[in-house]
Structure 1
Amino acid sequence: MKLPEYFLTRLLTILVVLLTYGCASSTGVQLKAKEGWYSKLVDVEFVKQNVDIPPRPGVMVIDSRPTARQYDPGHIPGAVNIPDSKFEQMTDMLPQDKNSVLIFYCGGVDCMLSHNSALKAEKLGYTNIHVYAEGYPDWVAKGTGQSVSGAYIKKLQDEKTVFMLIDARPKRTFDKGAIPGAVNISDTDFDKHVDQLPADKATPIIYYCGGVDCVLSNKSAAKARALGYSNVKTYVEGYPDWVKLYGVAPAAGAPAVAVVATAGPLNIEAGKEKGTMTVASFDRIMKENPQALMLVDVRDPREFNNASIKGAINIPIGMLEKQIDTLPLGKPIVFLCGTGARSGEAYDTARLLRSDLQVYFLDATMKFNPDGTYTLKEHGK
């Protein structure tokens, strides 16, 4: 029997829709791709399936964000940190098998670092590359916990920050050596020692154990979250990594010196994070005397050419070290990017190479408009 023409037309339309969107829905990714994005996108569920402790063989999750300001305070458990700006110098960290699954991520849909790194990996011959475009902000909201680095724990200790560090290994192992300041609550005896956990369930807690092949810290962290603790992270690399970084018995260092920002003629107001300028202070100066600041956009040239702040110059983060001597003395320099990741890395680089410069960055989300204007939103507000 011949089918009516309208029925065939409707059936054809349905088939076209299924073919168009079927691939995207296989991972749940419904994002609209932006210019410069890598073509193979995955969502949080795909990442969950490939993230595990011990790490899954043949899979590497790569955090493309800067180390100290972005990766150290929080990242996907087991992720390897290869900052995009240092990709070429760190290719030895990539797996030898070019068919390995590589999952790149960074700071969300406005962050290009993961896409840039994915394209670089593709040029090296890797064939199974994916980008988790929604990145770390999405993982924090939907993932299965976050991890920190040993350097971040050391920073908290040096700054005398209030947090609880818990060694989830058995007591006999703990007694042979542990991170200074850690409390031993073995995962096996977790339920017997719940009373040792902080009364305030918002207190930061960091669990660690015997390295990437040890599951005890992950198990204890999950139990603590189930009890209502809201700020629980793990140090996946654990005690072996700590010993490698700081030794078995690190010598007591000199007391930390607080850095106090002083207001100059422009009345620059320092932000909470070292090296930052508050959004309010930046907005005020840009309104009253924009020529008083040197604005350096450290994004890629393509991003800069699409839109940037009027008067800004472009020095991509990967070129900053070579061009650091072109920056002038006697004028406040503000590094800019879209999320504060690359600009923070630029600040660290400038302070290391040219301590004589007066440099700042904005720890904020910045939207650039084609007409040279901008909008800013401080993180956490």
Structure 2
Amino acid sequence: MTAAAANTLPHQRREGESLVLGIETSCDETAASVVARGPDGVGRILSDVVLSQIAEHSAYGGVVPEIAARAHVEALDGLIKAALAEAGTRLDVVDAVAATAGPGLIGGLLVGLMTGKAIARAAGKPLYAINHLEGHALTARLTDRLAFPYLMLLVSGGHTQLVLVKGVGDYERWGTTIDDALGEAFDKTAKLLGLPYPGGPAVESAARHGDPDRFSFPRPLVGEARLDFSFSGLKTAVRQAAQAIAPVSDQDVADICASFQKAITRTLKDRIGRGLGRYRQLAADLPEAALVVAGGVAANSAIRQMLQALCAEHGVRFVAPPIKLCTDNAAMIAWAGAERLALDLAADPLSVSPRSRWPLDAQAEAVIGYGKRGAKA
């Protein structure tokens, strides 16, 4: 691009808006985005560029951290350039840079955060090191202008949490997985049954042709007052069922997937139903109570239908951002930065480090203890 062309880029900023460049590299998507936030809190996504690495990892049945990090290095600069061009703006025009600093794969986080630091330093912009989970938590304010507080169910490959979102930087964990995340359970079930990666869509597709009542799988923690989740026992039950009837036919696989999905749905119905009961008492005086669902597993139609019905039963609005914004993306990272910028919250120093573990509610008691990288859950 020539200097003359750069000077004629059509700026899309409206009066009073701030522009934030977002960078996301926490797992196997490389993403860059420019988001605008007006003084009235209205947000606009000016660009959202995502490069998936599914093809690079599918042969391994899961994400290989070293391959992911190298792919981020190769793609990120080009994606940032594309995001700025699509937004019709330049780096010197944006007001801040936001980059995911955790939780996630440390190699990928290093690539994105170091790139964000370099850009912030070179352009003289403030840097916001964003918690990936906060990006998910605040997306509904970008898409639906939700007021605080609202309840969020985060269901992804790495996390399964029920969180009360009280404000920017103010989160209260009500429930979390004590072993596997739900997305991990889907992926491992798919791999066990010989289905392709990513496992969630493959299991859902197979389940459409299966008998959900053929296998009686456990529903962990159903009936307990605590709001935590557990999926490792269910995953083990699937493996035992498949081994008992081996070799499995296509119909066997479909039946196992349908029964697995039914057990998941019933488990979530119990866990989230109890959470909504607690939330309704807290939100009795709110103009509108809402449950937000985020994360890649939120794309599962059976889970969505159950949650919609459950919210209707409890008189709570069901909010599911577009699928593209439920999976990993940089628009949510840019928006989290824009929310912090609007509140005049302090930017992060260039010495900030990435964190492979970074709970939203850092003060909460660990459910299953600590490791050298922090709380395990």
TM-score by length of 2: 0.24
- Please identify which structure carries the higher strand content: 2
TM-score by length of 1: 0.24
**Greater relative contact order (CA < 8 Å, ≥ 6 in sequence):** 2
Greater Rg, structure 1 or structure 2?
1
